[in-house]
Amino acid sequence: MLPAGEATDATIRSLTEILSRGDLIVDGANSDFRNTLRNAALLQDTGIRFADVGVSGGIWGATEGYGLLVGGDPLDMDSIRPLCATLSRPGGFAHVGPVGSGHFAKMVHNGVEYAVMQAYAEGYELLAASDLSVDISAAVSVFATACSIRAWLLDHLARALAQNPKLEGVKGWVGDSGMGRWTIEEAVRLSVPIPAITAGLYARFTSRQEDSPAMRSIAALRQEVGGHKAKR
Amino acid sequence: MLPAGEATDATIRSLTEILSRGDLIVDGANSDFRNTLRNAALLQDTGIRFADVGVSGGIWGATEGYGLLVGGDPLDMDSIRPLCATLSRPGGFAHVGPVGSGHFAKMVHNGVEYAVMQAYAEGYELLAASDLSVDISAAVSVFATACSIRAWLLDHLARALAQNPKLEGVKGWVGDSGMGRWTIEEAVRLSVPIPAITAGLYARFTSRQEDSPAMRSIAALRQEVGGHKAKR
Amino acid sequence: MLPAGEATDATIRSLTEILSRGDLIVDGANSDFRNTLRNAALLQDTGIRFADVGVSGGIWGATEGYGLLVGGDPLDMDSIRPLCATLSRPGGFAHVGPVGSGHFAKMVHNGVEYAVMQAYAEGYELLAASDLSVDISAAVSVFATACSIRAWLLDHLARALAQNPKLEGVKGWVGDSGMGRWTIEEAVRLSVPIPAITAGLYARFTSRQEDSPAMRSIAALRQEVGGHKAKR
Amino acid sequence: MLPAGEATDATIRSLTEILSRGDLIVDGANSDFRNTLRNAALLQDTGIRFADVGVSGGIWGATEGYGLLVGGDPLDMDSIRPLCATLSRPGGFAHVGPVGSGHFAKMVHNGVEYAVMQAYAEGYELLAASDLSVDISAAVSVFATACSIRAWLLDHLARALAQNPKLEGVKGWVGDSGMGRWTIEEAVRLSVPIPAITAGLYARFTSRQEDSPAMRSIAALRQEVGGHKAKR
C-alpha cells in the first residue's frame, strides 16, 4: 500500500508553506477519501489546487501500467493528463469526478477486490474438499485462461497453484489494509447492503484469530444447555 | 439429538410387520422431514396411520416440558393429545399441519436456533473485544433478565458465564447435528434467502478447521500479486 | 428510541452551567457510546460526575420493568441504585463497567436484537414458503411457549401472528435506529466478524429499496454477456 | 445454459441402444455432476466409455473459444483432445480428474461467478449511492482496463454501462440457472463455508420477491413490540 494517512497530511501541510496560489498538489496515496475531503477543504482557502488519484496496480503497475482514478477539477485533470498517460496505458486512467472521488473509487475497487478474492478462495476450497480428486491446478488454470470468470487476479492464483499445488508452507492468515473497513463504514452510512464484500473482510478477521471467542461462547452454551461436551 | 435416520426407518419397517390397519405410529425422532414424507408414503398403502412430532427441549424437557410440533391427520392429533399434554405444558404443543410438517417445523426451529446462538456469540465477542473493560457476565445477565432479547437460551449463556466468566478451558469448536444443513437445503430449494441461519452454520464449519484452505489460497494469491509475505 | 445525539449534548452542556462539583448527570438516552465518551471527557474537568445507562424495554418497560446497563464509577452506581431498583426488576440492572460501557453494552444488545429478529424472520419465511401447508401461527406459538428458542420477542411475534396470521396489510419495509450501524462500525474497528448481525442490518437496507441498484447492474451484465434478457 | 437434466439422461439412455463397447459418450451439457456420476455408474456395465466436459463461454465461446473442463479417463481425454483444441484456445482446456470432475469444476466455476458478479454489483451500488457525483462509467471502465480486478466479466459490465450509463429500463430482477444452488448443497455436504457465493445466490432470490415475507414479519413484530408503525 502506498503510504497514506498522517504521512499524507504532514506532506500536504508542509507543501502549503512552499507552494503558491495556482500550484497543484496531486495526492496519489491510498488515502481514505474522507481524509482527502478534509485536506481539500483545508487547501481551499490557500488557492492551491488539489487533485486525488486512486492508484491500482501494486508492484506490477511499474511494468504493466497503473490504473488511475482521478478526482478533482476537470482543468486539473488536463494538467496531469500527460503524467497519467505515462504511468498508465490506453484507457487505463480517467477523470471520475470532483476531488475525493478518485480515492473513493479506489476504495470501492479494493472493496470489490476483497469479495472477488473471497470468491476465488471459496472455489478453491470446494475443489480441495471434493472427494472427486479434482486436479485443482488444472481446473483453476482453465478458469483463468478461457472461462467467464477469467481475470488478472485469477491468472495470478493459477500461477501460484502451478508453482505450489498444495500451497505447502502457506498459512491461512490474511491481513487487511483498511480499505475494506472504509468500504463497509461507507456502505453502512449510505444504507447499501454489501454482503459479499463484508464476507471477504470478516473471513480475514477470522483468519487471524487463534480461537474464536464467539465460537467458544457457543460451545459453552451448548454444554450448558444440551449436554454437548465442549472441547478443551 | 434423538436417534433418527436409519434407526427410524428400520423401526418403522419392523413395526409394519406387527401393526394392523388403523394402528398409529408416532415418529418423535429428530428426523429429516423429507424422510418422514417418504415413510408416510410407504405406510399409506398399509392402512397404518402415521404422525410426526418435532420435539424440542433436550435434556431440560423432562423437567420443564417439551415443545411438541405435531404433523399428521387432525384425528391422529386427537388420539395423541393426552400424551402430548403429559409431555408438554399448556400451549406447548400443537397440530401444525399434515404429516411431515411436524419435523419440518422442528427443522426450521433448529435453523433459527443456529442463527440465534450465532447472534449471542457475536454479541459476546464484541463485549470481550472492547477496550472498555466491560463486565461481560453482568451485561449478559441483564440482557437475559430484563432486556428485549431475553430468552431461555440466553439465560443459559448467562449461567455459563457466571460459572466461568472467561470460558476457561473451552475451545471454540462447535459441531452440528445436520438440521442446519437441511434447513439450508430446503431454503435453496424454496428460493428463500436465509443469511443469518447460514452464517450460523458456516461459522460452525469454520470453527472445526485447523486452518482455512480458502484463506491459504488468498495468502498465496496476495504473496504472488502484491508482495504480501504469507505466514508459514 | 429515547432521544439522543444533539439533544443529549445540548442538555449536558446546559446542565454544566447549573450543576456543581460532585453533582451527578445520568445519561439514560440511546446514545452512541463514542459520544458518551466524548461527553465524559468534557465533563471531567468540571468535577461533575457522569454515568451512562443503557435502557432496554421500550414501551413495555413501564409495566414490566426496564433492563438497565450502568456505566460509570462504582460509587455513582451506588448513588443511583435505588433509582434503578424502582425502574427495573430483580436482576434487571447492573454496573457493567466504566463510563461509556452502559451505552456500549446497550448497542451490543441492539445489534444482537437485529440478528435475532432476522433469525425469526427467516424461520417465518421458510414456514410460509413451504409446500407442506404448515399452520404458521400454531408452529410459532409452540416455538414461543415451549421450545429452546422461546423468548420475549418471539412471544410478541406469536401474538402478532395470532392476530393477523397472514400479516395482511403489512409491508416488508423495516427501518433502523442507527444502533445496528454503530455495532458494525465498532466490529470493523475491533476486527470482530459479525455476519449474523450484519445480515440483519443489510436485510433492512434492502427492504427499503424500491429496486436494487446492485441487482440492476447484474441484470444488465447478464444481458450483455449471456443473452439473458433483463426485465423492464 | 446448455440443456441438461432429463434431456441428457434420455439422450444417454437412447445412445446406449445404438453404441457398442468402447464407444465414447461425451456429456458437454451443464449437468449436475451428481447426475453425471449416476449416468457414469449406469454406463459402467455396458462397456461404453463416458467423459464429462464442463463448458464455459456461453454465446461468446463460439468466437473467443470455450473453456473446457474434462472429467474422465486420461485415455478418453486423449481421444477428444483434437476436438477440445478446435473448440477452445491454447491453455483453455484440461483434464481435471475422473468422470464427474468436469461438471463439478464447472459448477464451482459458476458458483464463483455468482459471487464475482455480486462483488461487482455491490461496487456499482456504492458508486451510484455516493454523494460525490462519481462518473460511474468512467470509474468502471478504468477498473476493467487497468486495475487489479480487471476481468472479462467486468469488461462486459463496463460496456453495458457505457451504452446505458443509468441502466435505464433495466429491472433488478435476476434469475439463476441452478448451478449456484448445487454449489451450496455441495458446500453444505462438504462442510465448506462459502459466504460470498451464498450471498450472490441469496441476493438473486431477494431480487425476485415483490415483497419480502421475512421483512413483513419483522415489521409486524416491531409494530407489536415497539410501537413502530408498519407500512401498508
Tens digits of residue pLDDT in C29-73: 999 999 999 999 999 989 999 999 999 998 899 899 999 999 999
- The torsion angles phi and psi of B208, rounded to 5 degrees, stand at -100, 5
Q: What is the pLDDT of residue D1?
A: 44
Helix or strand (DSSP H, E) at D69: strand D67-71
Q: Are the C-beta atoms of C10 and C36 separated by less than 8 Å?
A: no
Annotation marks residue A113 as catalytic: yes
Give the 3-state secondary structure of residue A2: coil
Q: What is the residue whose three cell numbers read 447549573?
A: C18
Chain C neighbours, 3+ Cβ pairs < 8 A: A, B, D
Count of Cβ atoms closer than 10 Å to residue D189 Cβ = 14
Alpha-carbon Rg for chain C in angstroms: 22
Cross-strand pairs, A54: A69
Asked if the model's pLDDT at residue B105 lies above 60, the reply is: yes
* Sequence-distant (≥ 6) Cβ neighbours of residue D106 within 8 angstroms: D30, D33, D54, D55, D56, D69, D179
Helix or strand (DSSP H, E) at C69: strand C67-71
Does A201 sit within 8 Å of C194, measured CB to CB?
Answer: no
Q: What is the pLDDT of residue C3?
A: 65
Give the 3-state secondary structure of residue D40: helix
Nearest chain B CA: its distance from A36 CA (Å): 24
Asked if the model's pLDDT at residue C230 lies above 80, the reply is: no
Asked if the model's pLDDT at residue C1 lies above 50, the reply is: no
Instruction: Tell me whether A217 touches chain C (CB under 8 Å).
Output: no
The C-alpha atoms of residue D59 and residue A106 are separated, in whole angstroms, by 32
Q: Are the C-beta atoms of B218 and A118 separated by less than 8 Å?
A: yes
* Sequence-distant (≥ 6) Cβ neighbours of residue C181 within 8 angstroms: A188, A189, C201
Instruction: Tell me whether B112 touches chain D (CB under 8 Å).
Output: no
The C-alpha atoms of residue A178 and residue A1 are separated, in whole angstroms, by 10
C55 chain-B contacts, CB cut-off 8 A:
none
- Listed residue (C23, C14, C54, C63) closest to C36, CA to CA: C54
pLDDT tens digits along B26-54: 999 999 999 999 999 999 989 999 999 99
Annotation marks residue D186 as catalytic: no
Which residue of chain D is at minimal alpha-carbon distance from B194?
Answer: D202
Helix or strand (DSSP H, E) at B17: helix B6-18
Asked if the model's pLDDT at residue C2 lies above 60, the reply is: no
Q: What is the pLDDT along chain D (232 residues), one digit of tens a residue?
A: 456 788 888 999 999 999 999 999 999 999 999 999 999 999 998 999 999 999 999 889 989 999 999 999 999 999 999 999 999 999 999 999 999 999 999 999 999 999 999 999 999 999 999 999 999 999 999 999 999 999 999 999 999 999 999 999 999 999 999 999 999 999 999 999 999 999 999 999 999 999 999 999 999 999 999 867 777 7
In angstroms, how far apart are the furthest CA atoms of chain C?
Answer: 74
The C-alpha atoms of residue A28 and residue A19 are separated, in whole angstroms, by 18
Q: Are the C-beta atoms of C146 and B88 separated by less than 8 Å?
A: yes
Interface test with B, best of A174, A198, A209, A223 (most B CBs within 10 A): A174
- Listed residue (B153, B200, B154) closest to B175, CA to CA: B200
Q: Using CB atoms, pick whichever of B33, B67, B197 lies closest to residue C145.
A: B67
Strands in B24-139 per DSSP E: 24-27, 49-56, 67-71, 93-97
Cell of A91: 484507457
C96 chain-B contacts, CB cut-off 8 A:
134-135, 138-139, 142
Please work out, in degrees rounded to the nearest 5, the angle formed at the alpha carbon of residue A125 by the alpha carbons of A124 and A127.
65
Query: What is the average per-residue pLDDT within C89-113?
Result: 98
Q: What is the pLDDT of residue D118?
A: 98
Cell of C25: 448527570
Give the 3-state secondary structure of residue A32: coil
Phi-psi region of A55 (alpha: psi -120 to 50; beta: other; left: phi over 0): beta
Q: What is the pLDDT of residue D3?
A: 65
Helix, strand, coil percent values for chain B (each to nearest 5): 60, 10, 30
Q: For residue D187, give the amino acid letter.
A: A
Give the 3-state secondary structure of residue B98: coil
The C-alpha atoms of residue D113 and residue A187 are separated, in whole angstroms, by 23
Count of Cβ atoms closer than 10 Å to residue B1 Cβ = 12
Q: For residue B58, give the amino acid letter.
A: G
Kindly write down the DSSP assignment for every residue of D77-127, as one continuous string: HHHHHHHHHHHS-TTSEEEEESTTHHHHHHHHHHHHHHHHHHHHHHHHHHH
Tally of CA atoms within 13 A in the half-sphere of C82 that contains its CB: 1
The better pLDDT of the pair C157, A229 is held by C157
Q: Are the C-beta atoms of D207 and D173 separated by less than 8 Å?
A: yes
Phi-psi region of C116 (alpha: psi -120 to 50; beta: other; left: phi over 0): alpha
Query: What is the average per-residue pLDDT within B12-31?
Result: 94
Count of Cβ atoms closer than 10 Å to residue A128 Cβ = 17
The C-alpha atoms of residue A51 and residue A30 are separated, in whole angstroms, by 13
D202 chain-B contacts, CB cut-off 8 A:
193-195, 198
Alpha-carbon Rg for chain A in angstroms: 22
Low-confidence ranges of chain A (pLDDT < 50): 1
Asked if the model's pLDDT at residue B2 lies above 60, the reply is: no
Name the pTM for this structure: 0.97
Query: What is the average per-residue pLDDT within B197-217?
Result: 98
Q: Using CB atoms, pick whichever of B122, B170, B222 lies closest to residue A174.
A: B222
pLDDT tens digits along B126-145: 999 999 999 999 999 999 99
Q: Using CB atoms, pick whichever of A57, A67, A146 lies closest to residue D88.
A: A146
Note which residues in 2-31 of chain D have CB less than 8 A from chain A.
Answer: none
Kindly write down the DSSP assignment for every residue of A151-195, as one continuous string: BHHHHHHHHHHHH-TT-TT--S-----SHHHHHHHHHHHHT---H
Q: Are the C-beta atoms of C66 and C106 separated by less than 8 Å?
A: no
The C-alpha atoms of residue A41 and residue A55 are separated, in whole angstroms, by 22
